[in-house]
Amino acid sequence: MATPMINVVLTTTIFGTIINKSKLKKYAGAVDVIFLTYFAQMLVGTLVGVVLAVFWKDMPYAWGMMSIFTYWGGHGAATTAGTLFEEMGNSGMLSLGIIMATLGLVVAMLAGMVWVNIGVRKGWSEFVKKSEGTKEGSNILLPKEERRSLGVATISSDVVNGLAFQLAIVLLCIFAGKTLFTLLAKVPFEPFANIMAKIPALLYGIVGAIIVWFVMRKTHTDEYADVKTVKNIGGVALEICVCAATATLDLELFDSYLAPILIHMVCIIALMSFITMVLLRRWMKKDWFELALMAFGQGHGSTPSGLALARCVDPDSRSGNWEAFGVAMGIVTPFTSVFAAMLPAVAMRSQWLIVALGGIVTLVCVLFGELVIKRQNV
């Protein structure tokens, strides 16, 4: 259930977005930090793996770089990269990848909730104040004067149920995106067609939402859509997604390599905390905490983990960072999907090539944050 539900979540996150200059600045910050979390993990994860392999000599070669396929990429990328490694003779990488990906999902929420509580107490969130969680019953049953509608019907119920119609729009977005990439995969230029054929379903709804919303605005049919209802559909999908991802954890895989993996994980937690809670706060100044939680969760477990953490401090999705994160993932995911199929072969030649690539891009991302994002004062 997690995979189709996250498609709905990301589709509803992007649908209804009107891009302007101020949003582009925030999008740039989101794209930069997501790229930074990926390549910084590539650099630090690989180096830590090299050091730990000195003490645990039976660890597979280049195992440290699996952090970008497991903590950052999740079970799908871990399975892809682990299988490729084993096909090239590096045994144990598939099992190791599943262990790390599973552990990442657990740690994403445990460590993430620590940051949620710290942020609320320090007033970093603009949408949940410190006092809100102290009133008895305030987080469960809303007082009548604070209750609000979940959306409005835009067409006559004689035609179709209003909620069903909004869901149909969401599904149309996913269908439009899938159709586009299917057609692009048939382009008579094999390298391009192969890349398009491997585009993950995660992007279907993101691209489709941009197309459908653009067409609706140009044809003046956007009044048929109720963006508030669409966002609430995404909220329902997110609840299912988080539940499904948590319920499918396989705790029996933690027997092997547990000690070095835990040490490696601690290093990644420290790295991600520094990027999201120190660097991002330094660069973006305001309305940054929700994006920090999204990036933190994404970098440890999966996109649903990041969205679940952000929802703790922005339950009504009022922050513009939901859109920014969706756009950033739409830009970054094609690259990371291709990397899952390419980087294992590079690593088997030399894991120091992975260190070099991670170091160069990490430096570029940090400089972009310091010299561009910080000066925009977003």
Q: What is the 3-state secondary structure (H, E, C) of 289-304?
A: HHHHHHHHHHHHCCHH
Residue 86 CB coordination number (10 Å): 17
Please, what is the average pLDDT of the chain? 81
Q: Given this model, what pLDDT does residue 3 score?
A: 67
Q: How many domains does the chain have?
A: 1
Helix ranges, 198-320 (H): 202-218, 227-247, 258-274, 280-284, 289-300, 303-313
Give percent of the chain above pLDDT 90.
19
The reply to whether 205 falls in a domain is yes
How do residues 51-100 score in pLDDT, each as one tens digit? 998 888 888 888 888 888 888 877 767 777 787 788 788 877 877 887 88
pLDDT at 212 exceeding the cut of 90: yes
| CA nearest to 296, candidates 103, 116, 97 | 116
Q: Could you tell me if residue 137 is inside a domain?
A: no
- Choose between 270 and 10: higher pLDDT: 270
User: Which two structure tokens, joined as six digits, stand for 351?
Assistant: 């894991």
Other residues' Cβ atoms within 10 Å of the Cβ of residue 355 = 21
Please state, in angstroms and rounded to a whole number, the distance separating the CA atoms of residues 258 and 239. 30
Count of CB atoms within 10 A of residue 349's CB?
10
The predicted structure's pLDDT at residue 256: 60
Determine if residue 317 is left, alpha or beta; phi over 0 gives left, psi from -120 to 50 gives alpha, anything else beta.
left
Q: What is the mean pLDDT of residues 325-342?
A: 75
Question: Average pLDDT for residues 30-46, to the nearest whole number?
Answer: 91
Question: Who wins on pLDDT, 173 or 7?
Answer: 173
Find which of 98-112, 225-239, 270-284, 316-330 is predicted with most confidence, using mean pLDDT. Answer: 270-284
Distance in angstroms (rounded) separating the CA atoms of residues 321 and 288: 8
Instruction: State how far Cα 322 lies from the chain centre.
Output: 11
Dist. CA 44–CA 41, nearest whole Å: 5
For the residues 274-300, what does the mean pLDDT come to?
A: 86
Whether 133 maps to a domain, the answer reads: no
The alpha carbon torsion through 25, 28, 33, 34 (nearest 10 deg) reads 140
Tokens of 216: 């609706």
Contacts of residue 164, Cβ cutoff 8 Å, sequence gap at least 6: none
CB 258 within 8 A of CB 102: no
> Does residue 142 form part of some domain?
no
Q: Which of 149, 129, 126 is nearest to 139 (CA)?
A: 129
What per-residue confidence (pLDDT) applies to 134?
Answer: 40
**What is residue 142's DSSP assignment?**
P
Amino acid code (one letter) for 253: L
Q: pLDDT tier at 44 (50, 70, 90 boundaries)? A: very high
pLDDT for 133 equals 45
How many other β-carbons are positioned within 10 Å of the β-carbon of residue 282? 13
Look at residue 176 in the predicted model and tell me its pLDDT: 94
pLDDT at 249: 52
Confidence of residue 366 (pLDDT cuts 50, 70, 90): very high
pLDDT of residue 170: 94
Task: Look at residue 236 and tell me if it is in a domain.
Answer: yes
Long-range contacts of 365-371 (CB under 8 A, 24+ apart): 365/32, 365/33, 365/35, 365/36, 365/39, 365/40, 366/36, 366/279, 368/32, 369/29, 369/32, 369/33, 369/36, 369/279, 369/280, 369/282, 369/283, 370/283
Q: How confident is the model at residue 221 (pLDDT cuts 50, 70, 90)?
A: very high
Angle at 177 between CA 173 and CA 180, to 5 degrees: 140
- Angle, CA of 43, 346 and 295, to the nearest 5°: 35
Average pLDDT score over residue span 231-237:
84
The residue that leads in pLDDT, 85 or 200, is 85
Asked if the structure places residue 38 within a domain, the reply is yes
* Whether residue 348 has pLDDT greater than 70: yes
pLDDT tens-digit readout, 118-174: 888 888 877 765 445 444 444 567 677 767 788 888 888 888 898 999 999 999 999
What does the angle CA 160 – CA 161 – CA 167 come to, to the nearest 5 degrees?
A: 100
User: 111 by DSSP, 3-state: which?
Assistant: helix
Give residue 11's domain range.
2-128+159-376
CA distances from 76 to 123, 201, 341 (A): 36, 12, 11
Length of the chain: 378
User: Residue 342: its pLDDT value, please?
Assistant: 78
Do residues 78 and 69 lie in contact, with contact meaning Cβ atoms separated by under 8 Å? yes
pLDDT, average across residues 284-288: 79
Q: What is the band of 355 on the pLDDT scale with cuts at 50, 70, 90?
A: very high
How far is the C-alpha of 9 from the C-alpha of 237, rounded, in Å?
6
Q: 257 pLDDT band (50/70/90 cuts)? A: confident
Distance CA 281, CA 21 (A): 21
